[in-house]
Each structure stands twice: as C-alpha cells, then as structure tokens.
C-alpha cells in the first residue's frame, strides 16, 4: 500500500490523512497537506534528487544570497520586487502557484529589510543593499 501512496505523492495526487500520517511517521514524505513531496531519503534511493530539489525549492539562505547578489548588482539603481520574482520564480517550490511565489518573495524582502540587509527607497518601490547586506553576501 505504501508504494501506491508514494506514487500518488510523486504524481501530486491526493492521499488520505491516514496515508499521509503513516508515510510521515515513516519519514517517507515531507510537507503539508495537500502539497506533500517524497522525502529526500526516498529521492536519493530512486535517483530523483534533481526532481526533489525542483519540487521543494532551494533553502532560504541560498535564496537570501541570491537576492543580496541582485541588490549588489543593481547598485545605486536598486531593484524592484519584479526583479526578485524573476530570479526566484523557478527556484521556489514547483508546486506553488505564481501568487504564492510572489507572496513568498514579498515576505522574504520584508524579512531581509527587518534584518537590516535591505532598505527601501522613499517611494517604497525599489530595494537597495545595506552595508550589513554586503557583509552577509561576502560571508
């Protein structure tokens, strides 16, 4: 039965709460309903690490470095949220909608602003790297 459930997860078909609980307990799947993914350990065994990475997206620190590099490249012109979305839309989890991806990018920019890595222009439409952001980028 597990094989059928795992195949359903792999092909993005719905599974029951009981099936999800069982597979999560055995550490065969990750994520939250209804967007489960096969676990990394399973992906390695079936040689699907590339697909796993595409499905789950890159980790937050990697995406943060990418945004800092964008900000550094933009220099005194700054960058817009659309620029950040353009570079991140294909590295966010494949099972997210474009609206969810845009929201994720917005949340990341706000978090990086709160952490002191980015500042906004007076109009609020452009983002710039801070000295702290440059230090973080180089680390």
Of the pLDDT bands very low, low, confident and very high (cuts 50, 70, 90), residue 40 is confident
Residues 6+ apart with CB under 8 A from 93: 35, 55, 56, 57
Q: CA 22, 94, 138, 131 torsion: positive or negative?
A: negative
Count of CA atoms in the C-beta half-sphere (13 A) of 41? 7
How far is the C-alpha of 107 from the C-alpha of 137, rounded, in Å?
19
> What are the structure tokens assigned to 109, written together?
């920019």
Structure confidence by residue, pLDDT tens digits, 44-75: 888 888 877 777 766 788 889 999 999 999 99
pTM of the model: 0.69
Per DSSP, what are the bridge partners of residue 31? 36
Give the whole-angstrom CA distance, residue 93 versus residue 37: 10
92 Cβ partners below 8 Å, 6+ apart?
Answer: 57, 58, 63, 101, 104, 105
Q: Bigger pLDDT: 28 or 59?
A: 28
């Amino acid at each position: 039965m597990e094989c059928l459930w795992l195949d359903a997860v792999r092909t993005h078909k719905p599974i029951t709460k009981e099936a999800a609980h069982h597979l999560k307990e055995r550490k065969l799947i990750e994520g939250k309903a209804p967007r489960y993914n096969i676990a990394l350990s399973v992906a390695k065994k079936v040689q699907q690490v590339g697909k796993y990475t595409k499905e789950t997206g890159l980790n937050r620190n990697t995406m943060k470095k990418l945004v800092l590099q964008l900000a550094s490249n933009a220099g005194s012109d700054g960058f817009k949220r659309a620029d950040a979305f353009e570079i991140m839309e294909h590295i966010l989890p494949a099972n997210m909608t474009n609206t969810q991806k845009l929201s994720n990018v917005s949340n990341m920019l706000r978090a990086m602003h709160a952490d002191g890595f980015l500042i906004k222009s007076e109009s609020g439409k452009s983002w710039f790297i801070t000295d702290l952001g440059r230090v973080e980028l180089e680390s």
